[in-house]
Amino acid sequence: MKEQTKLKLLHIFFPNKCPCCHKAISATKLFCEKCEKDFVYPTGERCEVCFNKKEFCSCAKRPKFYFRSLSPFIYQNSAKNALLTLKTMKHKRLAKFFAEKIVADFDKKYGDVKIDAVIPVPLFKERKKQRGFNQSELIAAEIAKIKGVALNLDCLTQTEKSRSQHNLNFKQRFQNVSGIYKAKNIPIECQTVMLVDDIMTSGATMNECAKMLRLEGVLKIYCVSAAKTE
Ligand SMILES: [Zn+2]
Ligand SMILES: [Zn+2]
């Protein structure tokens, strides 16, 4: 069955809704017209490592274990609303949408880089069980498919529960995630990897995961997220 026909049939039983504003939309659309135009993109000159605007670069004060990072969107308006939806439902089309944007931006900047594996930032086992899925894994799986690269779900795990990062300052965020991730059994050929998260805030989570991967022999880590806070 053609993809479009499948979507239309599905629509009869499960009316399609915009993942940002939850208004009903036609079966073939992913967003309503208003929300489609309401994405905020990163602007200005940015640090290649932490992806902050140059004037807010934190790399001199806090060196990073990852090599580069990027996000196609700023965590505001439509990207924020869509990512909140992706936390509550396994929305494959939405994950694919973010994956396509990430890959487009990545290939534009680093198209000649050979990635050996795509690795999602893991969720604590119980949290994943509660939620039924890991939203970063959904995006990572789509990236791996588009790039034709292996998805590795085994080598990075979250071994301790983290406190919410919400009310923590920059320094506390780094301390809060310290030691809660473990890396093991990394295939020898995994030298350059893409680490995937849904949202990048201070970069503390990415940095801690990158540190663990580096300790286990990964050489270069490109961190990608659907959206970056600003
Ligand atoms: Zn909408
Ligand atoms: Zn920086």
Q: What is the pLDDT of residues 64-88, one digit of tens each?
A: 999 999 999 999 999 999 999 999 9
**Same domain? 30 vs 120:** no
Q: Which domain holds residue 22?
A: 1-38
Specify the pLDDT at position 162.
Answer: 78
**Same domain? 214 vs 134:** yes
The two three-digit tokens of residue 155, written as one number: 């080598």
Specify the pLDDT at position 138.
Answer: 97
SS3 22: coil
Higher pLDDT, 11 or 167: 167
Cα-to-centroid distance, 29 and ligand 1 (Å): 10
Among the listed residues 149, 150, 133, 148, the one whose alpha carbon sits nearest the alpha carbon of residue 198 = 133
Query: Looking at the CA of 51, which ligand is closest?
Result: 2
What's the rounded Cα separation, in Å, for the pair 144 and 70? 17
The single residue listed with the structure tokens 């009310």 is 167
Cα-to-centroid distance, 104 and ligand 2 (Å): 22
**Same domain? 147 vs 48:** yes
Cα-to-centroid distance, 186 and ligand 1 (Å): 41
Distance of CA 143 to the CA centre of its chain: 10
Number of structural domains in the chain: 2
**Residues lining ligand 1 (ion), CB within 5 A?**
18, 20-21, 32, 35
User: For residue 4, is pLDDT > 80?
Assistant: no
**Same domain? 126 vs 160:** yes
Predicted TM-score (pTM) of the model is 0.92
Q: Contact at 8 Å (CB) between 102 and 226?
A: yes
Among the listed residues 47, 98, 109, the one whose alpha carbon sits nearest the alpha carbon of residue 75 = 98
**Same domain? 33 vs 52:** no
> Which residues partner with 193 through β-bridges?
117, 221
220: domain CATH number is 3.40.50
Cα-to-centroid distance, 33 and ligand 1 (Å): 7
**Same domain? 51 vs 28:** no
Among the listed residues 200, 195, 186, 227, the one whose alpha carbon sits nearest the alpha carbon of residue 73 = 227
Specify the pLDDT at position 11.
Answer: 66
The single residue listed with the structure tokens 């089309």 is 93
**Same domain? 107 vs 28:** no
The single residue listed with the structure tokens 């000159």 is 45
Specify the pLDDT at position 170.
Answer: 77
**Same domain? 136 vs 22:** no
Report the mean per-residue pLDDT for the chain: 93
- Residue burial 81-100, b: 16+ Cβ < 10 Å; e: rest: bbbebbeeeebeebbbbbbe
**Same domain? 70 vs 22:** no
**Same domain? 20 vs 81:** no
Query: Looking at the CA of 54, which ligand is closest?
Result: 2
Cα-to-centroid distance, 226 and ligand 2 (Å): 18
Instruction: Tell me which H or E stretch contains 131.
Output: helix 125-131
Mean pLDDT of 28-52: 96
What's the rounded Cα separation, in Å, for the pair 190 and 118? 10
The two three-digit tokens of residue 108, written as one number: 């534009």
Handedness of CA 24, 27, 29, 33 (dihedral sign): negative
Query: Looking at the CA of 78, which ligand is closest?
Result: 1
Cα-to-centroid distance, 108 and ligand 1 (Å): 28
Cα-to-centroid distance, 36 and ligand 1 (Å): 7
What's the rounded Cα separation, in Å, for the pair 189 and 42? 33
**Same domain? 137 vs 216:** yes
**Same domain? 33 vs 101:** no
Q: Contact at 8 Å (CB) between 149 and 190?
A: no
Helix, strand and coil in the chain, % to nearest 5: 40, 15, 45
Confidence of residue 190 (pLDDT cuts 50, 70, 90): very high
